Copies of this chain bind each other. A is one copy, B any other.
Amino acid sequence: MSDADAAVGAEVDVDLDFGDDGLVPAVAQDAETGEVLMLAYATREALSRSLETGRAHYYSRSRDELWEKGATSGHTQELREVRVDCDGDALLYLVDQSGGACHTGYRSCFYRRADGSVVGDQVFDPDDVY
């Protein structure tokens, strides 16, 4: 069993607060390097599907649908572990990221400082992928 299998089939046994809109923010972090890759949102179903399949799922607020990360781009996130915060209203996905997490081609969506300077690495050309 690889490390990545550890999350598969895990039960949810903490109280979660999905709020009025049914969503919680979910932070994806590279399980090896600790790099914060992205922040998206999850429904209870997205969390369940993530734990069932071992691949990170989110809920797209713009497309209004369940979304498997990488289903289009191939840049999937194999799920190592899901953590829950103290209030049960935020998730942390520890993942093995294939390619880049960001649709812009950067490894992480957090590739810029607030002053606009670029600190991240571009790992693919989005024109080749989307």
Binding site for B on A (CB under 8 A): 10-14, 25, 27, 29, 33-36, 38-39, 47, 51, 81-87, 90-92, 102-104, 106, 109-116, 119
Separation in Å of the A2 CB from the closest CB of chain B? 18
Bound-state Cα–Cα, A38 to B87, Å: 10
* Chain B residue at minimal CB-CB distance from A92: B110
Point out the residue from B39, B51, B114 that lies within 8 Å of A82, measured CB to CB: B114
**A106 proximity list for chain B (CB < 8 A):** 86
Most central of A82, A83, A114, A115 by chain B CB within 10 Å: A114
**A87 proximity list for chain B (CB < 8 A):** 109
Bound-state Cα–Cα, A14 to B117, Å: 9
- Are A115 and B85 interface neighbours, CB within 8 A? no
**A103 proximity list for chain B (CB < 8 A):** 86
* Chain B residue at minimal CB-CB distance from A81: B113
Point out the residue from B27, B34, B113, B116 that lies within 8 Å of A39, measured CB to CB: B27
Bound-state Cα–Cα, A34 to B110, Å: 14
